[in-house]
């Protein structure tokens, strides 16, 4: 199976700090790839790179096997990659519909097509089985889980193929965590690929197909989620175990420099 | 649900003296509690009491705040719908599956107030799971503005045989991470209320027999076909549990004496033919698949997925036929995730079952799909919790 999105030997430094070193990542269609790691492992840098916020210093980003330069979030979106970050970037004073369509409102002649936007908003939220009391409620009145749902729904508007979720369950209660994890499963069954970035191994094991462990900017193991135990993951996250032999699927892109 | 069948299962000649009034009250509360909501006419049919007696007792109990009546219609006629009053408190039902947990919160009339599903890691552990379940129940209770004392009892379903007397998982090796887990004791200490623990397929069987597709039938056999395969048998309204809760474990019935070795350590169990990892494994080379992907593929017409589901149905039919020849049930209800494939699974299952059951004047047992869906086991857990609350007298009425 060809991958939708590939990072091949990607490195990124901020001054002397090496955030990512020679990282390989593959995302197949219809798959949830989890990226786990300790604080400072490079998870958020990776997310920002996939979303077009940062550009790699070296290495290549490939979409459908074709090298691309994700110069900005807009370019990434055009390529079918949408991201939801920890801080969500919702406007508290606007309602759900306004937030979803902010910047690309639907128009009917000289006016905004409120009816079409509201209908699309409901359709989208229904598909996600999201429990939002009203799409005309200001976002400030929603719970943490509902706000995250709105942010994810907004990422889905252009029907992206890859959705990058950066710490979607951080700072959520158990009930909202349950809702977000169920939502990730639903994204997968709708045919999206999901890159799920998290530091909670329990959450990640619940929904991921494959788990990539980052440690100090390097890939320290790729696990099949059905076979990996939480001990395996913790050992790879903390560095107690050396890098496991990397499992590579047939058809994977050749990697510059090869495996260490 | 038709009244005639309800009469058959529940009708016991009621006492005729006024001293039996207390017993009649209890009978009415029990009937409302079991069915969730009933009209007064249905109550009369179910309990065998006269409509006038029912009307009097309902009026009396409504005034006492035990029952709640609301105007409704049945077959175009006005009727009084009777439910238990919400002030009687809440019960929680928790169902642990192989890959997810479902929690439902209901009032004393089994009306579900809140439900939540949470995906779980493969081979999840008892301690993590129980802690998450406890937090989820507390958060859900808080969200319906229930006070601390309102939770009356909790029912828990676990996908392994359970010794219900101690609330302990009694199998070894079937559910790694849960072997010997003292579920009842641990959650009892957390909540401070009675906790009932049972095998999840048993709970599904109880729910289907009381509230779902098996209502009005006896005996009822329930098969839960999901990541693993479980079964429950309801005889005369009671669950058949056996010595340590392993009765009805149809997933470990031998299909092929020389078959592959099962997770239980034996060979050729039904689960080695229809367990989710086996079904998914048959479609190797298609990337990482889940059971849900296989079902979706079969429903969308994918030939490979259909074949996998078809074969699973046949194997289930063979195993179920063996069980039917022993129990002779009126109905076999099929639930669990694989039941979402509907007739694609049930058709081959019926055929295999009919070929292998003893011919009877009544025809082969009916094979029906669950009518409670993925929530059957959680509903069963609610039923167990409510029964517990009633037995301990915390519902406020002695029954």
Nearest residue in B to A249, CA atom: B287
What residues of chain A lie within 8 A of the CB of B99, using their CB? 206
- DSSP class of residue B201 equals H
**pLDDT mean over A21-35:** 93
Q: Are residues A72 and A188 in the same domain?
A: yes
Residue B234: strand pairing partners: B220, B239
Sorting pLDDT into bands at 50, 70 and 90, what band is B14?
low
- Predicted local confidence at residue B8, as pLDDT: 43
In a domain, A180, yes or no: yes
The distance of A147 to chain B (nearest Cα, Å) reads 17
Q: Which of A186, A142, A143, A140 is nearest to A163 (CA)?
A: A186
- Identify the CA nearest to B381 among candidates B199, B179, B175: B199
Determine what percent of chain A is predicted with pLDDT higher than 90: 34
User: CA B173 to CA A259: how far, in whole Å?
Assistant: 38
Q: Are the beta carbons of A206 and B118 separated by less than 8 Å? A: yes
Q: Which of B169, B139, B146, B147 lies closest to B156, judged by CA?
A: B169
Calculate how close chain A gets to B117, using CA atoms only, in Å: 6
A201 shares a domain with A242: yes
CA distance B125 to chain A (A): 10
Q: Are residues A165 and A109 in the same domain?
A: no
Residue of A nearest to B133 (CA): A174
Pair B200, B192: CB distance under 8 Å: no
Judged by a CB distance cut-off of 8 A, whether residue A1 touches chain B is yes
Q: Do A178 and B116 touch (CB under 8 A)?
A: yes
B119 → closest Cβ in A173, A181, A230? A181
pLDDT tens per residue across span B212-252: 999 999 999 999 999 999 999 999 989 999 888 889 999 99
Q: Is the pLDDT of residue B2 over 70?
A: no
Interchain CB distance below 8 Å, B139 and A175:
yes
Q: Is residue A86 part of a domain?
A: no
How far is it, in rounded angstroms, from Cα A101 to Cα B264?
54
**Residue B19 banded pLDDT, cuts 50, 70, 90:** low
As a whole number, the mean pLDDT across chain B is 87
Q: Is the pLDDT of residue B76 over 80?
A: no
**Stretch A196-219: mean pLDDT:** 91
Check if A31 contacts B (Cβ < 8 Å).
Answer: yes
Its ipTM equals 0.78
Which pairing describes strands B162-163 and A218-224: parallel, antiparallel, or unpaired? unpaired
Give the dihedral sign, CA A79/A83/A89/A94. positive
Q: Is the same domain home to A143 and A242?
A: no
Q: Which helix (H) or strand (E) holds A43?
A: helix A43-50
A169 and A254 in a single domain? The answer is yes
A87 falls within a domain:
no
With a cut of 90, say whether residue B206 has pLDDT above it. yes
On the question of pLDDT at A260 being above 70, the answer is no
Chain B residue with Cα closest to A173: B139
Taking CA–CA distances from B289, the nearest residue in chain A reads: A209
| Nearest neighbour of A173 by CB, restricted to B139, B292, B293 | B139
Q: Summarize the confidence of residues A139-161 as an average pLDDT.
A: 83
How far, rounded to the nearest angstrom, does the alpha carbon of residue B330 sit from its chain's CA centroid? 17
Domain with A100, as residue range(s), is 92-159
Q: Which residues of B193-221 are buried (b: 16+ CB within 10 A; e: fewer)?
A: bbbbbbbbbbbbbbbbbbbbbbbbbbbbb
Q: What is the mean pLDDT of residues A170-193?
A: 87
Residues A71 and A178 in one domain: yes
Residues A165 and A259 in one domain: yes
- Rounded distance, CA B250 to CA B321, Å? 11
Q: Which CATH architecture has domain B213-371?
A: 2-Layer Sandwich (3.30)
Q: A53-62, A116-125, A129-138, B319-328 — which is least confidently predicted?
A: A129-138
Task: List CB contacts (< 8 A) between B119 and chain A.
Answer: 178, 181-182, 184-185, 206-207
The Cα of A1 is separated from the nearest Cα of chain B by a number of Å equal to 7
pLDDT of residue B3: 42
Last residue of a domain, one of A120, A142, A159: A159
Quick one: how far is CA A50 from the chain centroid?
8
Shared domain for A150 and A219, answered yes or no, is: no
A129 at B interface, C-beta within 8 A: no
Q: How far apart are CA B277 and CA A198, in angstroms?
A: 26
Domain count, chain A: 2
Give the chain A residue nearest B290 (alpha carbons): A209
Q: Verify that A73 and A142 share a domain, yes or no.
A: no
**Which residues of B touch chain A, with CB atoms under 8 Å apart?**
99-100, 116-123, 128, 132, 135-136, 139-140, 143, 277, 287-288, 292-293, 296
Q: Please give the pLDDT value at position A131.
A: 67
CATH architecture of B89-203+377-391: 2-Layer Sandwich (3.30)
More confident: A134 or B166: B166
What pLDDT was estimated at residue A191?
87
In a domain, A137, yes or no: yes
Q: Closest approach of chain A CAs to the CA of B159, in angstroms?
A: 17
* Domain-embedded: residue A132: yes
- CA B284 vs CA A122, B278, B289, B304: distances in Å: 38, 10, 8, 11
Q: Do B123 and A229 touch (CB under 8 A)?
A: yes
Residues A186 and A133 in one domain: no
Q: What are phi and psi of B262, to 5 degrees?
A: -90, 170
Q: Is A192 on the interface with B (CB under 8 A)?
A: no
A243 confidence band (pLDDT: 50, 70, 90): low
Residues A43 and A166 in one domain: yes
Instruction: With CA atoms as reference, report the closest residue to B95 among B333, B271, B336, B278.
Output: B336
**Chain-chain contact of A206 with B288 (C-beta, under 8 angstroms):** no
Which ranges in chain B are annotated with CATH 1.10.10.10?
A: 3-84
Q: Which is more confidently placed, B88 or B388? A: B388
pLDDT of B178 above 80? yes
Q: Does A209 touch chain B (CB under 8 A)?
A: yes
Residue of A nearest to B134 (CA): A174
Residue of chain A whose Cα is closest to the Cα of B141: A175
Asked if A251 is an interface residue toward chain B (Cβ–Cβ < 8 A), one would say no
Q: Are residues A19 and A51 in the same domain?
A: yes
The pLDDT value recorded for residue A258 is 38
List the single residue in A173, A184, A206 with the smallest CB-CB distance to B120: A206
CA A45 to chain CA centroid, Å, is 12
Cβ neighbourhood burial of A107 (10 Å; 0-12, 13-18, 19+):
exposed
Task: Say whether B3 sits in a helix, a strand or coil.
Answer: helix
Whether A197 is covered by a domain: the verdict is: yes
**Percent helix, strand and coil across chain B, each rounded to 5?**
45, 20, 35
Whether residues A174 and B288 touch (CB distance < 8 A) is answered with no
- Tell me the C-alpha distance between A144 and B12, whole Å: 53
> What average pLDDT does this structure show over B154-178?
89
> What are φ and ψ of residue A107, in 5° steps?
-125, 145
- Predicted confidence at residue A105, as pLDDT, reads 81
In a domain, A212, yes or no: yes
pLDDT at B137: 92
A93-102, A243-252, B94-103, B151-160, range with the lowest pLDDT: A243-252
Residue indicated by tokens 């086996």? B278
Q: What is the pLDDT of residues A66-107, one digit of tens each?
A: 999 989 988 998 899 988 887 777 888 888 888 888 877 888
**Interhelix angle for B51-63 vs B40-47, to 10°?**
120
Least confident of A43-57, B13-27, B318-332, B339-353: B13-27
Domain boundary among A134, A159, A184: A159
Edge-first strand order for the sheet with B151-158 is B112-119, B100-107, B90-96, B151-158, B195-199
Select from B115, B119, B340 the residue whose CB has the most chain A CBs within 10 Å, as the one to mutate to test that interface: B119
Residues of chain B with CATH 3.30.420.40: 89-203+377-391, 213-371
Residue B23 has pLDDT above 90, yes or no: no
Residues of A in contact with B283 (CB under 8 A): none
Give DSSP secondary structure letters for B116-142. Answer: EEEE--TT--HHHHHHHHHHHHHHHHH
Phi, psi of A227 (to 5 degrees): -100, -20
CATH class of B3-84: mainly alpha
> How deeply is A205 buried, as exposed, middle or buried, from its count of CB atoms within 10 A (0-12, 13-18, 19+)?
buried
Final residue belonging to a domain, choices A159, A174, A203? A159
CB B226 within 8 A of CB B337: yes
What does the DSSP 8-state code read for residue B39?
E
For residue A202, being part of any structural domain is answered with: yes
**Is the confidence at residue B350, as pLDDT, over 90?**
yes
Please write the tens of the pLDDT for every residue from A222-234.
998 888 888 889 9
Q: In chain B, whose CA is at the least distance from the CA of A3?
A: B287
Q: Which of A192-196, B49-53, B391-395 has the lowest mean pLDDT?
A: B391-395
Whether residue B199 contacts residue B160, with contact meaning beta carbons closer than 8 Å, is answered with: yes
What pLDDT sits at residue B13?
Answer: 53
> How many residues does the structure list for chain B?
399
Distance from CA of A179 to the nearest CA of B (A): 7
**3-state SS string for A83-124:** EECCCCCCCCCCEHHHHHCCCCCCEECCEECHHHHHHHHHHH
How do residues B248-277 score in pLDDT, each as one tens digit? 999 999 999 999 999 888 999 999 999 999
Q: What angle do CA B256, B261, B266 make, to 5 degrees?
A: 75
Rounded Cα gap, residues B115 and A8, in angstroms: 43
| A25 to chain B, closest Cα gap in Å | 16
Interchain CB distance below 8 Å, A189 and B99: no
The better pLDDT of the pair B23, B371 is held by B371
Summarize pLDDT for A3-27 with one digit per residue, the tens.
899 999 999 999 888 899 999 999 9
The reported pLDDT for the residue numbered A212 is: 94
Minimal C-alpha gap between B140 and chain A (Å): 7
Say which CATH number the domain at A188 has: 3.40.50.300
Closest-approach residue (CA) in chain B for A32: B288
Looking at per-residue pLDDT, the higher value among B282 and A111 belongs to B282
Q: Tell me whether strands A193-198 and A32-37 are parallel, antiparallel or unpaired.
A: parallel
Q: What is the tens place of the pLDDT at every residue in B359-383?
A: 888 889 999 999 999 999 999 999 9
What distance lies between CA B86 and its chain's CA centroid?
23
Query: Residue B219: CB partners within 8 Å, gap ≥ 6?
Result: B233, B234, B235, B236, B327, B328, B329, B330
How high is the pLDDT of residue A122? 83
A136 in contact with B, Cβ within 8 Å: no
């Amino acid at each position: 199976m060809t991958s939708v999105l590939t990072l091949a030997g990607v490195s990124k430094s901020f001054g002397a700090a090496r955030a990512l070193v020679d990282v390989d990542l593959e995302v197949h269609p219809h798959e949830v790839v989890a990226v786990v790691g300790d604080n400072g492992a490079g998870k958020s840098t990776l997310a920002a790179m996939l979303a077009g916020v940062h550009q790699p210093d070296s290495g290549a980003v490939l979409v459908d096997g074709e090298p691309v330069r994700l110069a900005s979030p807009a370019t990434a979106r055009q390529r079918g990659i949408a991201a939801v970050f920890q801080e969500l970037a919702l406007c508290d004073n606007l309602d759900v519909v306004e937030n979803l369509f902010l910047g690309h409102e639907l128009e009917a002649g000289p006016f905004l097509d409120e009816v079409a936007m509201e209908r699309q908003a409901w359709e989208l939220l229904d598909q996600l089985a999201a429990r939002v009391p009203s799409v005309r409620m200001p976002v400030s009145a929603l719970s943490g889980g509902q706000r995250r749902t709105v942010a994810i729904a907004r990422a889905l508007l252009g029907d992206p193929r890859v959705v990058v979720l950066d710490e979607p369950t951080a700072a959520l209660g158990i009930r909202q965590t349950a809702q977000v994890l169920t939502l990730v499963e639903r994204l997968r069954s709708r045919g999206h690929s999901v890159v799920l970035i998290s530091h909670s191994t329990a959450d990640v094991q619940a929904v991921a197909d494959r788990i990539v462990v980052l440690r100090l900017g390097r890939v320290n193991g790729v696990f099949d989620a059905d076979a990996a135990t939480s001990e395996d993951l913790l050992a790879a996250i903390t560095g107690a175990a050396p890098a496991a032999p990397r499992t590579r699927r047939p058809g994977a892109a050749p990697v510059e420099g090869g495996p260490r | 649900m038709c009244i005639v069948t309800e009469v058959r299962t529940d009708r016991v000649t009621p006492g005729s003296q006024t001293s039996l009034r207390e017993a009649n009250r209890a009978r009415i509360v029990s009937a409302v509690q079991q069915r969730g909501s009933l009209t007064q006419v249905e109550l009369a049919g179910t309990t065998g009491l006269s409509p006038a007696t029912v009307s009097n007792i309902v009026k009396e109990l409504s005034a006492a705040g035990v029952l709640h009546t609301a105007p409704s219609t049945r077959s175009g006629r006005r009727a009084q719908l009777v439910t238990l009053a919400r002030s009687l408190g809440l019960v929680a039902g928790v169902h642990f599956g192989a890959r997810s947990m479902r929690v439902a919160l209901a009032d004393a009339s089994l009306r579900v107030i809140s439900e939540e599903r949470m995906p779980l890691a493969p081979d999840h552990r008892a301690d993590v799971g129980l802690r998450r379940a406890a937090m989820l129940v507390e958060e859900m209770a808080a969200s319906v503005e229930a006070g601390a004392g309102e939770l009356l009892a909790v029912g828990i379903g676990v996908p392994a045989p359970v010794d219900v007397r101690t609330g302990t998982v009694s199998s070894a090796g079937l559910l790694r991470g849960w072997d010997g887990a003292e579920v009842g004791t641990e959650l009892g200490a957390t909540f401070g209320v009675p906790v009932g623990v049972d095998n999840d397929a048993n709970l599904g069987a109880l729910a289907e027999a009381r509230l779902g597709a098996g209502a009005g039938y006896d005996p009822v056999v329930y098969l839960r076909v999901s990541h693993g395969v479980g079964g429950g048998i309801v005889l005369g309204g009671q669950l058949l549990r056996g010595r340590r809760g392993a009765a009805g474990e149809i997933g470990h019935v031998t299909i092929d004496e020389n078959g592959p070795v099962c997770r239980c350590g034996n060979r050729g169990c039904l689960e080695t033919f229809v367990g989710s990892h086996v079904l998914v494994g048959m479609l190797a080379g298609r990337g990482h698949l889940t059971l849900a992907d296989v079902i979706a593929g079969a429903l969308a017409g994918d030939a490979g997925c259909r074949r996998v589901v078809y074969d699973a149905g046949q194997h289930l039919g063979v195993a179920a036929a063996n069980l039917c020849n022993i129990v002779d049930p009126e109905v076999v209800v099929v639930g669990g995730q694989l039941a979402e494939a509907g007739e694609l699974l049930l058709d081959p299952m019926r055929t295999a079952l009919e070929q292998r059951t003893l011919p009877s004047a009544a025809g082969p047992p009916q094979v029906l799909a669950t009518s409670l869906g993925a929530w059957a086991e959680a509903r069963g857990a609610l039923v167990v919790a409510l029964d517990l609350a009633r037995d301990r007298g915390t519902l406020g009425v002695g029954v």
